[in-house]
Structure formats: structure tokens, C-alpha cells
């Protein structure tokens, strides 16, 4: 609970914008290549590769003073959330 009270409005703004940007990126990545129908596996492998490289770069450093790793992490969360939403849309 102590950590929640330390979040400033500016930090919250960056986190929400990063989540929405990640959601937009996942929507764009899943709809544009899907027009041809044969890019599904290639698109998924590119998304997973970029996701894992970003995770390796972010979590390899011990002291992250900058806000950029946090912003990148929230973009990744938004991308995963967007992919789940698209999967539910396709399943229904």
C-alpha cells in the first residue's frame, strides 16, 4: 500500500499512455498482416522475438533509474493485452 501512495500523476499518465500505445501496436500488428492470411506465424514470431529482446535488455541492468525501462515494460503489457483481446474477438 505504501508503494501505491508514492505514484505521482505524471507517472500514472506515462503508464496509461504506454499501455494504450501497446494496445494500439498490437491491434495494428494483428490486423495489417492478417489481410493476406499467411502472415500469422511470421507476425507472431516477430512479436515474441522483439518482446524477449526488450525483456533481456530491461532486466539485465540492476539499477534502472530512468523511466524508459518502465515505459517499455508497460508498452509490452499493452501489446500482450491487445493480443488477448484480439484472440477473444476471433474466438467468438
Confidence of residue 3 (pLDDT cuts 50, 70, 90): low
By the 8 A CB rule, do 79 and 47 touch?
Answer: yes
How many distinct structural domains can be found in the chain?
A: 1
Rg (CA), the chain: 15
- Domain of 48 in residue numbering reads as 2-91
Tens digits of per-residue pLDDT, 42-90? 777 777 888 888 888 777 777 666 677 778 888 888 988 888 888 787 7
Tell me the C-alpha to C-alpha distance, in Å, between residue 1 and each of 6, 9, 36, 47, 86.
9, 17, 48, 34, 33
User: Helix 40-59 and helix 9-31: axis angle, to 10°?
Assistant: 150
Rounded-to-integer distance, Cα 24 and Cα 20, Å = 6
Amino acid at each position: 500500500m505504501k508503494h501505491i501512495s508514492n505514484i505521482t500523476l505524471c507517472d500514472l499518465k506515462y503508464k496509461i499512455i504506454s499501455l494504450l500505445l501497446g494496445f494500439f501496436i498490437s491491434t495494428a500488428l494483428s490486423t495489417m498482416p492478417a489481410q493476406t492470411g499467411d502472415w500469422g506465424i511470421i507476425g507472431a514470431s516477430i512479436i515474441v522475438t522483439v518482446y524477449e529482446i526488450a525483456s533481456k535488455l530491461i532486466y539485465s541492468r540492476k539499477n534502472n533509474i530512468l523511466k524508459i525501462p518502465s515505459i517499455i515494460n508497460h508498452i509490452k503489457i499493452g501489446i500482450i493485452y491487445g493480443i488477448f483481446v484480439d484472440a477473444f474477438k476471433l474466438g467468438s
